[in-house]
Amino acid sequence: MERYAEPGTVEWVESGGGPLVAVPETVLPFWTGADGEETESDYDRACEVDGLVGLLPVGDAAALVLGDEPAATAFLPEHSVLVRWIAGHAEEDLLASVPAALATAQWQQETRWKVPGPVVLFDAAWPGTHAAGTDHARLALAPGPYSLRAAQVSPGPETWLVLVELRPLS
């Protein structure tokens, strides 16, 4: 993936081929990744999520699984949205298309996610205790309930992305 925007504009997180997961920091030690001792690892459970997003129980919280395909993902706090880069030539163009994509998105069914505080976005195959040593991003979410909704959007002829909106509920 080529980058044309200013370095540090956004922080992209990529996986080794499987889903990405956003796990609350309070329960990171409980995410076992592909190393689980049980018959089905947390990574296996994440791979079974059908659709663009899903929630999996982890400790006394839930992790957000970004399903469908392994796409570079960035959090844009000004829009409260995760942007998944499916196709596009330039980062700058893709990021510039986000406001129009948000306005025209046909959202899937809304899901509620109770967040105990900041979450860490990383490759679902890694154990949570190793997330900081991998390709990851910390999302400084305030504690509380969030409305999640996702959409596949094509804001241009050669640009495709998935949007995952995280709206705090009052």
Q: What are the φ and ψ backbone dihedral angles of 46, each rounded to 5 degrees?
A: -65, -40
Q: Mean of the pLDDT values across residues 77-95?
A: 92
Q: Is 28 part of a structural domain of the chain? A: yes
Q: Are 161 and 141 in contact (CB under 8 A)?
A: no
> Which has more confidence, 3 or 16?
16
Cβ neighbours, 10 Å, residue 128: 23
pLDDT band at 36 (very low <50, low <70, confident <90, very high): low
Q: What is the pLDDT of residues 97-135, one digit of tens each?
A: 999 999 999 999 999 999 999 999 999 999 999 988 888
Per-chain mean pLDDT for the chain: 90
| pLDDT surpassing 90 at residue 55 | yes
Q: Mean of the pLDDT values across residues 2-22?
A: 76
Residue with tokens 């640009």: 159
| pLDDT surpassing 60 at residue 34 | yes
Q: Is 41 part of a structural domain of the chain? A: yes
Which amino acid appears at position 154 of this protein? S
Q: Mean of the pLDDT values across residues 133-142?
A: 92
> Considering its fold, how many domains does the chain have in total?
1
Q: Is 92 part of a structural domain of the chain? A: yes
Q: Is 42 part of a structural domain of the chain? A: yes
Q: Is 50 part of a structural domain of the chain? A: yes
pLDDT band at 38 (very low <50, low <70, confident <90, very high): low
Rounded CA gap, 93 and 146, in Å? 28
Nearest of 131, 146, 118 to residue 30 by alpha carbon? 131
Rounded CA gap, 58 and 70, in Å? 21
The fraction of the chain above a pLDDT of 70, given in percent, is 93
Which residue range forms the structural domain that includes residue 136? 20-168
Q: Is 113 part of a structural domain of the chain? A: yes
